[in-house]
Each structure stands twice: as C-alpha cells, then as structure tokens.
C-alpha cells in the first residue's frame, strides 16, 4: 500500500475512534515518536496517548477530527488537520510521518490554537 494510502487509513480509523486497530495494522513496533509530550518517544507511549485522548473509544467521544489535507512525497506523508472539542479552542495540527513497508515508522508534529477570527479565511485552511 502506498504511504499516502496508509496514512489515509490511519486517520479514517482515528476518526472512527479505532486507534488501537490503526496501530496494530499500520504502525511499526519500532515506531519513533518525536513529540516530546509522548511518553518514551515510542509506540507504547503513543498508544497511551490514544487511549487518554479517546481515540480508541467507539461511540460518543466528543472530539471531532477534520482532516483538511494529506500530501505525500515518497515515504514522507504530511497531514493538516483541525481538532474540535467541546469547551476548548480548536487546534490546528501539522503531522509528518515516515512510512516504510506499509507501516508508520516515525512521526513529528506541530500544533497551534486555531484563531477565533482568522485573517485568512480560505476554505483550504479553515
């Protein structure tokens, strides 16, 4: 499966709160996590965060994940998304994956609070 398709499937499962299924199918056991807030910087820490954030709780989790764009260049895949949660300001996130052999092997991300009144109202970035 091409890297972009792997990550599209990962986010489809995340949106369905099937995070552990995504991990089992599409993440390498040797996965390296570069987000310093993920315990251990590895797959076990990532799984812990999936559970904590409710991405493995089908039915009724209040978080909404809007995937705005996924682009790929070889084994590198970038994802632009918006996270909406009740009583919290939306987050805009850019995630970067390295995919090898049909599995995510490495991940980086950056996040910012979505502006309430953005200067640029392009639908591509909303």
C-alpha separations of 3 from 14, 40, 49, 79 in Å: 17, 25, 23, 12
Q: pLDDT value at position 122?
A: 67
CB atoms within 10 A of CB 60: 7
pLDDT along the chain (126 residues), means of 10: 97 91 97 95 93 74 86 98 89 97 97 82 56
pLDDT at 124: 53
Question: What pLDDT, on a 0 to 100 scale, did the predictor assign at position 52?
Answer: 83
State the pLDDT at residue 36: 93
Q: According to the model, what pLDDT value does residue 60 have?
A: 60
pLDDT of residue 111: 94
Domain 3-113 belongs in CATH node 3.10.450.50: yes
Domain spans of the chain, in order of start: 3-113
**Helix, strand, coil % in the chain, rounded to nearest 5:** 25, 40, 35
The whole-angstrom separation of Cα 30 and Cα 71 is 24
- 3 SS3 class: helix
pLDDT of residue 126: 43
Structure tokens at 115: 């502006």
Q: SS3 of 96, please?
A: strand
Q: What secondary structure does DSSP assign to 14-67, as a single string?
A: HHTT-HHHHHHHHEEEEEEE--TTSGGGBHHHHHHHHHHTTTT--S----EEEE
């Amino acid at each position: 499966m091409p890297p972009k398709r792997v990550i599209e499937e990962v986010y489809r499962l995340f949106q369905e709160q099937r995070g552990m299924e995504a991990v089992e199918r599409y993440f390498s056991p040797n996965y390296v996590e570069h987000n310093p807030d993920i315990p251990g910087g590895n797959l076990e820490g990532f799984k812990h965060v999936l559970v904590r954030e409710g991405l493995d709780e089908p039915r009724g989790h209040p978080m909404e994940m809007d995937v705005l764009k996924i682009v790929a260049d070889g084994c590198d895949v970038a994802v632009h998304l918006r996270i909406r949660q009740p009583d919290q300001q939306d987050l805009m996130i850019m995630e970067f994956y390295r995919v090898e052999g049909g599995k995510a092997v490495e991940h980086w991300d950056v996040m910012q609070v979505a502006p309430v009144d953005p200067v640029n109202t392009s639908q591509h970035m909303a």
